[in-house]
Amino acid sequence: MPSSAPPARLILGSSSVYRKELLSRLGLPFEVMTPDIDETALTGETPSATALRLAQQKAAAIAIRAPGALIIGSDQVATLDGEQIGKPGNHANAMLQLQKMRGREVVFHTALCLFDGRSDISSPQIQLENIQTFVTFRDLPDAELDAYLHIEQPYDCAGSAKNEGLGIAILEKITSNDPTALTGLPLIALTGMLRRANIAFFNT
């Protein structure tokens, strides 16, 4: 059991309401700040490398504005046959994504970064991890896929489905070592990182 450290300023570097809700489960006080970075994948970059790079860049961007803090950055990249699947942005693109993925397995790479700037901002302690989640989509007809999209409008979600909402009904199977990774913040990995950063969860 790690010893308790002096209170640390904990910041979630994300605008996602889902990540905020997940982090609140841990009972730790935290702030939310939105990073402003270019999330475009680099040419020839693997999906895992993209997710890890962006998670670290998000945390680093917040660290400039909040020196001395513990900062959580996270990013998710969905892939089908090794090719990245971005956020659809609109109904037509989302429909094309779901048509392509139905009856098939999609891999979600959820990268996590804990940026510890408490000691020295010029030489921070950085923990990185990529958690893979394997998701099989149900083989549903166009009418059902179209109806789902009109109801939930998941146009800001890579993969065009919100598993934390009605989107769970178009999924057939989810396999992951970290059950909250698919929603965007892998809490098993995060609590391990926070423990290594000497953050206590249970004060006895």
Catalytic sites, residue numbers: 75
Question: Taking the C-alpha atoms of 169, 170, 172 and 173 in order, what is their torsion angle to the nearest 10 degrees?
Answer: -80
Q: By C-alpha distance, which of 17, 31, 19 is closest to 76?
A: 19
Helices 142-152, 91-101: crossing angle, 10 deg rounding = 140
Q: The tokens 């990268």 sit on which residue?
A: 111
Contacts of 91 (CB under 8 A, 6+ apart): 149, 150, 153, 155
Q: Identify the residue whose tokens are 């999330």.
A: 39
Find tokens 């921070």 and name the residue: 124
- How big, in percent rounded to 5, are the helix, strand and coil portions of the chain? 30, 25, 45
Dihedral Cα 21, 23, 27, 29, nearest 10 deg: -100
Can you tell me which residue has the tokens 């961007």? 61
